[in-house]
Structure 1
Amino acid sequence: MSQMLFNPFQDLIFDEHFCFLSGVLTNEEMTVFPEWLMAYFKFGDERVEMMDKAKSYHYEDLKLPCSPEVKKAFDDLDLKIQEAYKKGYEGMAALDQQLLFQWTGRMVYGLLYYEMVYERDVLLRKGEDFELSPVLRKRFSEFHLMLQSIIEPISFVGKKPWSIVVFPLKYSADIFSYRDDAINLMFSFGVNGFGFIACLQDNGVIGESQKEVLDKIEGHVLHPVQFEELYARFHYTDYIMQYSPEYNIENLDDRITIEVDETGKPPHFGHWDEDVYAQLLSNYWQVYGIEKDHILPPQRPRLSFLENPYTKDFVEPDSISLPF
């Protein structure tokens, strides 16, 4: 059955007349970011930059061609997310993680779609062919297949292909914080009440690598500076992860099953470079005026708002004097 499903990365098809998910001809479209989310947090007229910083769009102008079936599926999903959102952390934490994968995946894929179109058009103007490495083509194809689970009978068997963590979070009212890395299929989302971090195709490896700190967080309402640090840890761990997720994909008569293949080379990580990590973390903490030199002071351990650098005890959020 999977051979019958649309795969835009096979022939690099990113055309405004083909549904981004099903590939059917269409004249309809949907926003990359849910309309209710942009309206509630009033960021539709703000700008988002492409990776090379040379091109930017208003969030509300980011739109994907879609079939009526796909639009309805995501509209229905949005209603479920909105209902959970109204209940705060408890509502979001109770959601099936597959729903969070699909909801987050829509935004991450939408940004990835625009990156593909932008890069293709730049190369065409130069008279060059648009190509992707075999590694990226495989990763994005599998991600697209998983996202099709919102409209197709696709099920995930056993271990899930993602790491998604949801936790209580304290922000000032009506603040919305998100970060994404479309190429590495990562996303973070934080508002007053809850936050979550999603690595959409790591087979749970990154979540497992951060289990120690996640266990310490349990039962606490995080300060935003802790949320940013946690995402930095996830992001940098993804950067040094030396692991290629593999899947057993079975085509049955009326459905597809996707199972994480754990028979290959086990995951491992490259060297954790404190200097590189501190630079990444400083990018996330710049709103607090925290620079790289503050994070890595001479002759002292790295600054952390998650763990005491000497005892490794969890830092109580109420003890942090920074604004939220």
Structure 2
Amino acid sequence: MAQEIYHPFESFKFGNRNCFLSGEALTSEEEKIQVFPQWLMSRYQLEDKPFKMLDESMATYKDIKIPCAAYISEAFLEPLENEIAAAFETGYDALKEIDELKLFQWAGKLLYGIIFNEIQSGIKLQHSKGEEFNISQSIIHKFSNLHLMLQSLNLPVVFEDFKPYSVFLFKADNNPLEFGYRDEINTLTFSLRIRDFGLIICLQDNGANLSYHKEVYDKIKGQLLHPIQFEEFCGRVFYSAYLFNRLPEYNVMPANGEIYIEAMPLRGLSSKPLFDDWLNKIYGQVLESFWKNWGFLLLEIIKNPEQPMSFLFNPDGSLISEATIELPR
């Protein structure tokens, strides 16, 4: 029997009686897995730390779970988790050897797990007010496509000559105790800075952000970065993900026991560039947030509006060495 793609956003099934990935009925509402894996929570003592939801309510990291069939977890998620955990434990050199698709699947499952919890919370809140749950069609489109791509975990999915994501990986001189996690659900962008590396993934851009930042990324990707340098590049990517103005479209074609996914051209019928105009004032506001640990204010960052403050590049465009930066890690 041909395996079928599950479309949770068509029926809006976000209860706890169906597996988040396959949609099949579960035997119990207790059949769940942690969104943030136990090994990661244990390493950084995250279990009881607060995690702010979009509606400003607070959960703890260990509270964030998703319904998942036991065999899906055992056959598909646990082997991936074990491979990623081992690579994270070793650090940057091991992570470099991991298939990018697996990094995408791991980060995508984590971010989708947060989305699932946000939707559950939103549905409960609206129903308690006697209202229908509303969410924009463009957001549904993005979330639905992310879920489609995640089914490459449990179904024989083939991406035809494209990658649905952009991955950026750096070696970073981090404080070993720091857990630097950030996500932006609306743009499906994820970053993690721990151990001796920094990782950024745009989960639904068909590689557009990687192309957008290619020149800068090629200059710095082999260098050891100070955390403030990584956060600067992270700010660039999170901002460009916000400027990205396309909703990727795909053709899904089952054939010969496999499910082929083909990306439609991002340019489509529009003559607009793929990214809206870069505004240094807005970028400066992003940097102010990303540099919060070091206390730089917007006025300092955009003192020269044409050339915002940078710890990556000198005014002449040459790369700043991590060893010369005298700031705390």
Within a 5 Å distance, the mapping from 1:57-96 to structure 2 comes to 57-72=59-74, 73-96=76-99
List 4+ stretches of structure 1 deviating above 3 A.
1-4
Structure 1 position 306 matched with structure 2 position 323? no
Contact 2:2 2:257 in 1 (8 A): no
CA distance in 2, matches of 1:219, 1:181: 26
Percent identity (aligned): 36
- 1:248: Cα distance to partner? 2.4
Provide, for residues 178-237 of structure 1, a one-character-per-residue CA deviation record: whole Å limited to 9, x for no partner: 101123211101112111100001000011100111011032111110111111111110
1:150 alignment partner, SS class: coil
**Which of 244, 249, 253 is matched with 2:252 structurally?**
249
Map of 2:210 onto structure 1: 207
Match of 1:133 among 131, 136, 144: 136
C-alpha separation between the residues in 1 aligned to 2:135 and 2:129?
17
1:322 maps to 2:327:
yes
CA distance in 1, matches of 2:2, 2:326: 53
Name the SS for the 2:66 alignment partner: strand
* Offset from partner CA, 1:267-315 (integer Å, 9 cap, x none): 522121211111111011111111111101157731011122x211111
For residue 86 of structure 1, report the CA deviation from its aligned partner: 3.0
User: What are structure 2's unaligned runs of at least 5 residues?
Assistant: none
> Could you say what secondary structure the match of 1:64 adopts?
strand
The one-letter code matched in structure 1 to 2:182 is: R
Shift of 1:318: 1.0
TM-score (norm 2): 0.93
Partner of 1:268: 274
Q: Does 1:109 align with 2:115?
A: no
Structure 1 residues not aligned, in runs of 5+: none
1:287 is matched with which residue? Answer: 293
* Residue identity opposite 2:327 in structure 1: L
Matched residue, 2:189: 186
Change (3 A) 1:273 1:300: closer
C-alpha deviation, 1:260, in angstroms: 2.0
In structure 2, distance between residues paired with 1:155 and 1:300: 44
The one-letter amino acid of 1:85's match is F
CA deviations over 1:136-193 (Å, ceiling 9, x no partner):
2222111101101111111212120100111111112232211011232111011121
Rounded to whole Å, the distance in 2 between the matches of 1:119 and 1:299 is 40
- Partner-residue secondary structure (3-state), 2:224: coil
1:265: how far off?
4.3
Point out the more displaced range, 90-99 or 255-264.
255-264
Give the secondary structure class of the aligned counterpart of 2:81.
helix
CA RMSD of aligned residues (A): 1.8
TM-score, reference length from structure 1: 0.94
Q: Distance in 2 between matches of 1:137 and 1:302?
A: 35
Q: Which residue in the other structure is 2:239 paired with? A: 236
